[in-house]
Amino acid sequence: MFERIEVALDGSSHAERALPFAESLANHFDSTIQLVAVHEPIGALNEDAWDDGAQDRAAEYLERVRDDIAERYEGEVETSCLRGRPHECLLEFAHRTEANLIVLATHGRGGLARAWLGSVTDKLLRESDVPLLVVRPSEDAPATADTDFRRILVPIDRLDLESGLLEIIRNLAGAYDSEVVFVQAMPTPTAAASPFLRATPEVKEEVIEQRRAEIAATLDQYVQWCESRGIRARSRVQLGAQAGIAICRVAEEERADLIAMTTSGLSGVKRAILGSVSDKVIRMADIPVLIHRVPDAD
């Protein structure tokens, strides 16, 4: 499933927090790890010597990281130093090498430069057709991480049984012997939109229960899909909160180790108006988030 795993690094220890997850996946799937650094030239300076020096330092840095990984991982570890716009280089490299997954932290350096990987992640969320594993370690989190995905939380929105995400989940759950928990957030009405509509508690409860039953029946299909493939699975409907908040709340309650979800790759004005649940989850969750982008559909 994950024969080649690309890991984006920017020379910071923060970005390296993604490495343990890449190594864990590589151990379970016998993957080749591709360590990638991207140097973005500063056009105003137009100094080839500066760019060449940056490339050399990036190469030396990746060699050190590779040597460190080699002490723990017996599989193949490759390094590549790229030059250009980071998200474009990372995605083009993933296509060229047929990488099955891109692993990266949400940001790397501190201060103003911390936006390097943050902006790269945001662009990849909109454009990457390669699945992303996004890690958002807090500043005070330990350098080591628990990388066993014992429980995988899968938020359901427009996902169908043929989605590529379910195949990813099947492989992950099989490799880690994970339990899969499907969840769908369901907002609840707080008041009637019109004074001429009935808004009694009984009516609200009736509507809520009807909708909850519909969602639960849909979620049962995903549970059955997993169980028919030997995967432990269950589901729950989360009431009363925005989707991003609800997902993170359930992840904490369930002690999930990974959130796996789809994103539609919205961009521009549409993204600004509707927002993105995946964006909110990545920025709020304390655990890795695996993103599978599907084409936007009205």
Per-residue pLDDT reduced to its tens digit, 89-126: 999 999 999 999 999 988 644 444 444 446 788 888 88
> Which pLDDT score, from 0 to 100, does residue 139 have?
59
pLDDT at 50 over 70: no
- Whether residues 162 and 288 share a domain: the answer is yes
- 212 DSSP 8-state letter: H
Cα distances from 26 to residues 6, 77, 165, in angstroms, run 11, 10, 19
- Distance separating alpha carbons of residues 126 and 266, to the nearest angstrom: 6
Residue after which a domain boundary falls, among 102, 135, 168: 135
Residue after which a domain boundary falls, among 135, 168, 201: 135
Q: What is the DSSP string of 236-291?
A: EEEESS-HHHHHHHHHHHHT-SEEEEEE----HHHHHHH--HHHHHHHH-SS-EEE
Residue 191 CA neighbour count, 13 Å, CB half: 3
101 has which bridge partners? 5
Q: pLDDT tens-digit profile of 98-108?
A: 999 999 988 64
> Which pLDDT score, from 0 to 100, does residue 158 have?
59
**170: domain CATH number?**
3.40.50.620
Residue after which a domain boundary falls, among 135, 162, 181: 135
Question: Of 44, 48, 40, 37, whose CA–CA distance to 11 is shortest?
Answer: 37
- 112 DSSP 8-state letter: G
- Where residue 46 falls (left for φ over 0; alpha for ψ -120 to 50; beta otherwise) is left
How many separate domains does the chain show?
2
- Whether residues 176 and 263 share a domain: the answer is yes
* Residues 173 and 231: beta-carbon distance below 8 Å: yes
- Would residue 145 count as lying in a domain? no
- Would residue 140 count as lying in a domain? no
The residue range of the domain holding 210 is: 151-293
- Would residue 143 count as lying in a domain? no
Burial class (CB in 10 A: 0-12, 13-18, 19+), 26: buried
- Would residue 141 count as lying in a domain? no
Determine the 3-state secondary structure of 6 from DSSP. strand
> Does an H or E element contain 77, and which?
strand 77-83
> Which pLDDT score, from 0 to 100, does residue 1 have?
86
58 has which bridge partners? none
User: ∠ CA(162), CA(164), CA(166), 5° rounding?
Assistant: 75
> Which pLDDT score, from 0 to 100, does residue 254 have?
96
* Residues 215 and 237: beta-carbon distance below 8 Å: yes
